[in-house]
A = this chain, B = another copy of it.
Amino acid sequence: MKITIWNEFVHERENEAVRELYPDGIHQTIAGFLSTQAGWKVGTATLDQPEHGLTEEVLAATDVLLWWGHMAHAKVSDEVAERVQRRVLEGMGFLPLHSAHYAKPFKLLLGTTCSLKWRDDGEKERLWNLMPGHPIAAGIGDFFELHEEMYGEPFGIPEPEELIFVSWFQGGEVFRSGCTWRRGHGKIFYFRPGHETFPSFHDDNVQRVITNGVKWAQPTVNILDDCPHADPLEPIAPAS
């Protein structure tokens, strides 16, 4: 399995506090814990690369794509965003993380506003496990806790097909923090945690959920839909 982690990689260069948490960028931290999985090849791509590092070749060879973006969503070219969308429809798994709720490919795939409430005060978040039998929740107990940015409902998404985690926030809100959808032949897992000013990607539970999510999103096929003419399989008698 070949995994690509995309990161806009801007905060880490501009903000000392973020750089201390993720010295080589969030993508490298994620690559670090994913690459310890037996047999997984992990690559990275960033906004500043040609075609944001997501050329046709790179995407064609990617089984599961993770995406972290925040302040530079608008700098992602429409062409690359649509290329990612198309690859998901062909079967590539896709894990948008945290502020990627507003990433172009995620919005293209879901079709909705993906809006939410937010508050960046580092309060306590408790993620409740609603589906202890789901492979994405494997090894996760009844709940786990972080200190994080708050995201609050209503979250402008199509009804998730599976609602795996719901967050409780100390400040009084709730949020659908782990959601899956199938789009085309690809599987999508949105996972809420991961604000750049918090060490969430160093958290054991977060790492486990992301690892589980990548496994779950592994493609089974690579199918490019077309719209073919079809000859009849049975004799037909047109209207007279």
Contact = CB atoms under 8 A, between A and B. Distances in A.
Nearest to A129: B154
A167 B166 CA distance: 10
B133 A221 contact: yes
30 contacts: A89-B113, A91-B133, A102-B227, A108-B111, A113-B225, A116-B227, A117-B228, A118-B229, A121-B236, A122-B238, A122-B239, A123-B237, A124-B236, A124-B237, A128-B153, A129-B153, A130-B155, A131-B154, A133-B184, A133-B185, A133-B186, A135-B220, A153-B166, A154-B225, A158-B158, A158-B181, A168-B173, A170-B237, A171-B234, A173-B230
Contacts of A57: none
A230 B152 contact: yes
Interface in A167-190: 167-174, 176, 181-186
Contacts of A181: 158
Interface string A182-205: 111110000000000010000000
B128 A173 contact: yes
A10 interface: no
Contacts of A166: 153, 166, 174, 176
Interface string A205-240: 000000000000001110101111111111011110
A173 B108 contact: no
A167 B174 contact: yes
Copies per assembly: 4
Interface residues of A, number: 76
Contacts of A108: 108, 111
Contact of A156 (B89, B115, B123): B89
A159 interface: yes
Contacts of A232: 119, 121, 123, 150, 170-172
Interface of A: 85, 89, 91, 102, 108-113, 115-119, 121-124, 126, 128-135, 138, 147, 150, 152-156, 158-159, 161-163, 166-174, 176, 181-186, 198, 219-221, 223, 225-234, 236-239
A170 B173 CA distance: 10
